[in-house]
Amino acid sequence: MPTVHGSLAPEFTEQGFTVVRGLFAPREIEKLRAEFTALHAAGPVPGHFEPKPQLPEGPYDPLRDHPRVMHPHRINAPAREVLLDPRLSEILEELLGEPVLAAQSMFYFKPPGARGQALHQDNFYLRVEPGTCVAAWIACDRIDRENGGLEVVPGTHRLDLFCPEQADPDVSFSREYVPPPPGLEPVPVDMDPGDVLFFNGSLVHGSGPNRTEDRFRRSFICHYTGVSTERIGDWYQTLTMSGERVALEESTGAGPCGTEFGPPGPH
């Protein structure tokens, strides 16, 4: 059974994130992992899952074999069920203080040796206006420092969106990097399968490489916004939590969550 979460809003408001332990049962996470193992084995799905051949002149890049899956809820019924799960909806309404709309899903395989994603802010990509988005980040493996678990910078959710610097392509698959502001430091968030990290779309967060030899760091990630939202990037298609399409006005400057580099350079 999931941990009774009580009131999460104060921690979320103060820190910009909160973790609900065991929200999804082991059998549910096993089913989710199996769905994406089968999707990977079936091969490319244009626009959603597009592995690439390794480059003969470069080092082996695990993310070319196991890229993230974008918007899997549009092509996979179990992924859609998780995105619209009532348990997530209940918590999100508590955190946002209003009913919510679902905007995006992603699945990260993050196999051994894979690069991480440099510190960034999700609403830099979604461009939710007014306000911001909220992520529900579902652990599908034991997640810790060794296999590239998330780090968050508490308090940065109170700040505006930063203009990113360029990340190090040897350790990050995405280009954007937001240095922690003076006086604020990243803290690790270790998780077990079925735990869910909820965080504000302005919170600076990211992850390092998976430095293990035999452990994936799989995660299913969803983004939401309140019903008071007026605009969002056209990469995203908002749904009510019962699955009806809700068209919002288009905001400018949006795109996929993380602009990808090419393969890492030689070492």
183 class by beta-carbon count within 10 Å (0-12 exposed, 13-18 middle, 19+ buried)? exposed
Helix (H, G, I), strand (E, B) or coil at 231: strand
Among all chains, which residue has been given the structure tokens 């360029």? 166
Instruction: Give alpha helix (H) positions in the chain.
Output: 9-15, 26-42, 62-65, 77-83, 86-96, 123-126
- Domains and their CATH numbers in the chain: 11-46+66-250 (2.60.120.620)
Give the integer Cα–Cα distance in Å for 20 and 198. 8
Tens-binned pLDDT, residue by residue, of the chain (267 aa): 334 455 888 999 999 999 999 999 999 999 999 999 999 999 999 999 999 999 998 899 999 999 999 999 999 999 999 999 999 999 999 999 999 999 999 999 999 999 999 999 999 999 999 999 999 999 999 999 999 999 999 999 999 999 999 999 999 999 999 999 999 999 999 999 999 999 999 999 999 999 999 999 999 999 999 999 999 999 999 999 999 999 999 998 887 776 776 554 433
Please give the Cα distance from 63 to 50 (Å, whole number): 10
pLDDT in the model for residue 265: 46
Exposure string of 39-57, with b = 16+ CB inside 10 Å and e = fewer, is bbeeeeeeebbeeeeeeee
Closest CA to 35 of 72, 3, 85, 87: 72
What is the rounded CA–CA span in Å between residue 144 and residue 110?
Answer: 13
At residue 149's C-alpha, the angle toward residues 146 and 154, to 5°, is 130
As a whole number of angstroms, the distance between CA 88 and CA 90 comes to 5
Cα distance between residue 73 and residue 104, in whole Å: 8
pLDDT, one tens digit per residue, over 240-251 is 999 999 999 999
Identify which of 125, 68, 138, 131 has the alpha carbon closest to the alpha carbon of residue 101: 131
pLDDT tens, position by position, 213-241? 999 999 999 999 999 999 999 999 999 99
